[in-house]
Amino acid sequence: MTDPLIEVHDGPEPLATAVAGELLNRLADAQAAGHVPHISLTGGTIAVKIHQEVARLAPASGVDWGAVHVWFGDERFVARASSDRNAVQARQAFLDAVGIPDANVHEWPATEDAADTDAAAATYAAELAESWPGKFDVMMLGVGPDGHINSLFPGFPQLHATGPTAGVTGSPKPPPERVTLTYATTCASTAVWFLVSGDDKADAVRRALAEDGTVDETPARGAAGQLETTWFLDHASASLL
């Protein structure tokens, strides 16, 4: 695991532009080296801004979107067309615009596809086993005010799951039923990027980066990349550091 790097930007818009540009550079460089990149997306307001910037900057990037695979760190276990789904938001913001083939967009099962969250998690685990090379080039993570990442919440048993995925019920953040990658899969990433904006996240950022504390209290403490861990912050979210 790696020591964290911290980048602080003037606001959510500059943060989104910086992350989008860096992502496109990583994808282009990977492809130039003959590698097919696999990335994992997150949801949330700042993620949507980043995705929109990716769509805006993509035409000049040189990225071959037919040779990029997209996964999702977690998902709301709702109907496939629901606007609550991270995949729906990502498709609207940039996936459809840049033309990633459907076969390369690895969505979690929806309520139409699986009986419950555990079944959905098992199906995604099988897809990872079949189509994932065992490491993400970039894992993007939002952080909640409570310090959660993906759908790994403080005090929940999924923090200690040993498999690649887990179902979640009774989530403190609606909707209550979710599916998530575990730490084992999240940390199987060359780079882990935390994407955080807003003063309501400042205490979570402080706790995640503090010298003391536990994963059970602040799940963001448990995620790190194998070669890089970067916190992309704005001034508001970095205000307590």
What is the C-alpha separation between 167 and 161, in angstroms, rounded? Answer: 10
What is the C-alpha separation between 142 and 196, in angstroms, rounded? Answer: 6
pLDDT for 58:
97
What is the C-alpha separation between 241 and 237, in angstroms, rounded? Answer: 9
Does residue 176 come out as left (phi exceeding 0), alpha (psi in the -120 to 50 range) or beta? alpha
Answer CATH for 4-217 from 3.30.930.10, 3.10.310.30, 3.80.10.10, 3.40.50.1360:
3.40.50.1360
pLDDT for 3:
87
DSSP secondary-structure letter at 46?
H
In terms of Cβ atoms closer than 10 Å to its own Cβ (0-12, 13-18, 19+), residue 28 is middle
pLDDT for 15:
98
Task: Write out the E strands in 25-82.
Answer: 38-41, 69-72, 74-76
pLDDT for 173:
92
What is the C-alpha separation between 24 and 38, in angstroms, rounded? Answer: 13
140 in helix, strand or coil?
A: strand
Which pairing describes strands 74-76 and 178-181: parallel, antiparallel, or unpaired? antiparallel
Please, what is the angle between helix 45-57 and helix 12-32, to 10°? 50
What is the C-alpha separation between 77 and 75, in angstroms, rounded? Answer: 6
pLDDT for 2:
74
- Splitting the chain (241 residues) into consecutive groups of 10 residues, what average pLDDT does each group show? 90 98 98 98 96 97 97 98 96 96 97 98 98 98 98 98 97 96 98 98 98 96 97 98 97
Question: Looking at the chain, how many residues does it have?
Answer: 241
153 in helix, strand or coil?
A: coil
170 in helix, strand or coil?
A: coil
70 and 104 in contact (C-beta within 8 Å)?
Answer: yes
pLDDT for 1:
61
The residues, ordered by sequence, that sit 6+ positions from 35 with a Cβ below 8 Å of its Cβ are 137
Query: Which of 135, 231, 237 has its CA nearest to residue 181?
Result: 135
pLDDT for 238:
98
